Structure 1
Amino acid sequence: MKIGIRYETIYRYDRAVRFSPHDVRLFPRTDRFLQITRLDFQTKPKTTVRFGRDVFDNVVASCFFDQPSEMLELRLALDAEAAKKNPFDFVLSRRAVQMPFNYEEDIASIICAYCKRQTRESLSLPGWKPPSRESPRETVATLVELTKTFHRTISYERREEGAAQSPVETLRRQRGACRDTAVLLAEILRDLGLAARVVSGYLRETDEEVRRAEGSLHAWTEVFLPGAGWVGLDPTNGIFCNDNFIAAAVGLRPADITPISGSFYHRDRVPAEMKSRLELITL
């Protein structure tokens, strides 16, 4: 299937301001299920853009603005070819068929950072009991149940700006944006001894089961399962991630996957507004 991604963000200010370097993480991570065939990234004011990869192997466009401006525009237009992906088309290693399990030493030494909790508070998801050594459970069925429990327990709220809530705050409110539930799920998976990372990207809303992106960027979680690799879980919609999910950035923390990071400055306090638009189309 051929798809197009059209994204723009426009910042407006009451007067001309200067800008720090801006890092943009909007570019899909390619694999055998997704290949980019055309990419056009534009800024206004025009500026030098340098493409590179960060420590998580995300493509990052670093933008350096020399002149002050009353407006900043970032526009992305890309076309891609996507193949069908069955999220359950994998075979787990024997030791990972049931939870809890331990990673083999050679794997654990590489992914240990993803197993470490990023917050300190105790977390307990209402209505869900984790597996234990005394009462192990089948891994895939357990993760399906956990993801569905998130969907039932944490109500969705749209919040395009601002940092992610802390996991304990999301549990207290039982409400959150997609980035809030993604962070909470990652922390609960780490409590289970699993390697987890947060993901930002795009969600094609093609059926009734997947309906909570609403023309905005989306966030979800990935867990590392021996034999399967990184497997996507979407707690916002309560499902495993298929080819409708297009990852742009992965990381340990929300700051690692921020689509656009940067700031403006002026000697006075300057009011600002932001407008974003995202369109995913079938070509």
Structure 2
Amino acid sequence: MPILSVRHVTTYRYRRPVAFGEHRLMFRPRDSYDQRLIETTLEIEPEPASLRWMFDVFGNCVAVASFDRRAETLRFVCGITLDHTPEHTPDFPLAPHATHYPFGYGAEDMPDLSRSIERQWPDPRHEVDAWARSFIPATGRIPTQELLADMTRSVRRNFTYTARSEKGVQDPLHTLRTKCGSCRDFAVLMMEGVRALGMAARFVSGYLYNPRNDRDRHVGGGSTHAWLQVYLPGAGWVEFDPTNGIVGNRDLIRVAVARDPRQAVPLHGSYFGLASDDLGMRVDVEVVELPESPPGQHPPEVPSVEPPLAAIR
């Protein structure tokens, strides 16, 4: 179980001192059986007048910062240390009726899954539908794991990753036609493809661990990362990263999940000034593996009280 450390720095610069509106941030990873939060730190400059915490509708931890000072620079430095348990195999246990596609969800699950099955983007010519169904053999039956793994790895093989600084997500039809996009674009395309097949999917925002920034292993490091989860009976929510062809949680640090990517923006807020005052934003993310603890020692436990923090955007 490697110990991973994340340093996430976001800096906004302005031509003159400006006032800041409320800023909301999602940076605190979700504690789970496969990732245990050890420590978090947060520094904000200028220091916020107040910082409060809440859980959103998906159970993500959200910090809300308010400011009473003007400044030319707004900077958030987030530090995370966690115990990560990677799943090295794409094999996961499924309920007997879901081992092969097509399958259906039980009546008890449908009220909670229905919004995650709904398509979110128009597809008037059924192009995304056709792409998703191209992974199904003529017989119409295929192991569910194989279907989703093939779709995930096809994006990695046949699409070109491009880092985009623009806000928002590309239309999945644009991503499909150009075969080009960022990690969030690929995640949304595959979400729409999975939903076209009647399966529930949701968006995941977090971080990617890439030892030595090895582009032969992964792309998309150096910033926040995005992928998706698919709900599979017997296995629950399973991770799929089409940008890197990853099935399972290997090298993926989960921070926030949402039905729509707009609900999982790592940092957003506002300032009061002219549009020309904005000199841009810089994001730097570094994820490294820490040395193992000496025999007999264990990583410190997560504090049971809300950790003292000071900042994000």
What TM-score bracket applies, with the shorter chain setting the length? over 0.9
Distance 1:109 1:209, change over 3 A: farther
Residue type matched to 2:18 in 1? V
Deviation for aligned residue 1:129: 1.1
For 1:178-193, list aligned pairs within 5 A.
Answer: 178-193=183-198
Q: Which piece of structure 1 moves more, 177-186 or 26-35?
A: 26-35
**Secondary structure at 2:220 match in 1:** coil
- With over 3 angstroms needed to count, the CA separation of the structure-2 counterparts of 1:126 and 1:84, relative to structure 1, is closer
Q: Is the 8 A contact 1:20 1:264 kept in 2?
A: yes
| Mapped partners of 2:147, 2:110: distance in 1 | 21
Q: Does 1:152 align with 2:154?
A: no
**Superposition deviation, residue 82 in structure 1:** 1.7
Write the distance in 1 (CA, Å) between the matches of 2:283 and 2:275: 25
Gaps of 5+ in 2: 291-313
Q: Summarize the alignment of residues 44-123 of structure 1 with structure 2, pairs less than 5 Å apart.
A: 44-47=45-48, 48-121=50-123, 122-123=126-127
Letter in 1 for 2:78: L
Instruction: Note if 1:38 corresponds to 2:39.
Output: yes
Residue pair 2:231, 2:238 contacting (<8 A) in 1 also: yes
1:278 equivalent to 2:292? Answer: no
Could you state the TM-score of these two structures normalised by the residue count of structure 1? 0.93
Question: Moved runs in structure 1, 4+ residues, more than 6 A?
Answer: none
CA distance in 2, matches of 1:60, 1:113: 22
Once the two structures are superposed, the pairs formed by residues 127-276 of structure 1 within 5 Å of their partners are 129-131=134-136, 135-206=140-211, 210-266=217-273, 269-276=276-283
Asked whether the equivalents of residues 22 and 62 of structure 1 are also in contact (C-alpha less than 8 Å), the reply is yes
C-alpha separation between the residues in 1 aligned to 2:245 and 2:270?
34
Q: What TM-score do you get using the length of structure 2 for normalisation? A: 0.85
Matched residue of 1:144: which SS? Answer: helix
1:186-245 Cα offsets, whole Å, 9 max, x none, are 011000000001111111113776310231211111100000000111111122133310
In the alignment, residue 5 of structure 2 is paired with which amino acid? G
Q: Which moved more, 1:81-90 or 1:135-144?
A: 81-90
Relative to structure 1, is the Cα distance of residues 126 and 76 closer, same or farther in structure 2, using a 3 angstrom cutoff?
Answer: same
Provide the rounded CA distance (Å) in 1 between the counterparts of 2:30 and 2:270.
Answer: 25
Q: Percent identity?
A: 33
Q: Post-superposition shift, 1:123? A: 3.1
Shift of 1:83: 2.3
Which residue in 1 is equivalent to 2:27?
26
1:256 shift after superposition: 1.0
Whether the 8 Å CA contact 1:128–1:146 is kept in 2: the answer is no
The alpha carbon displacement at 1:132 in A equals 8.0
Count residues in correspondence: 283
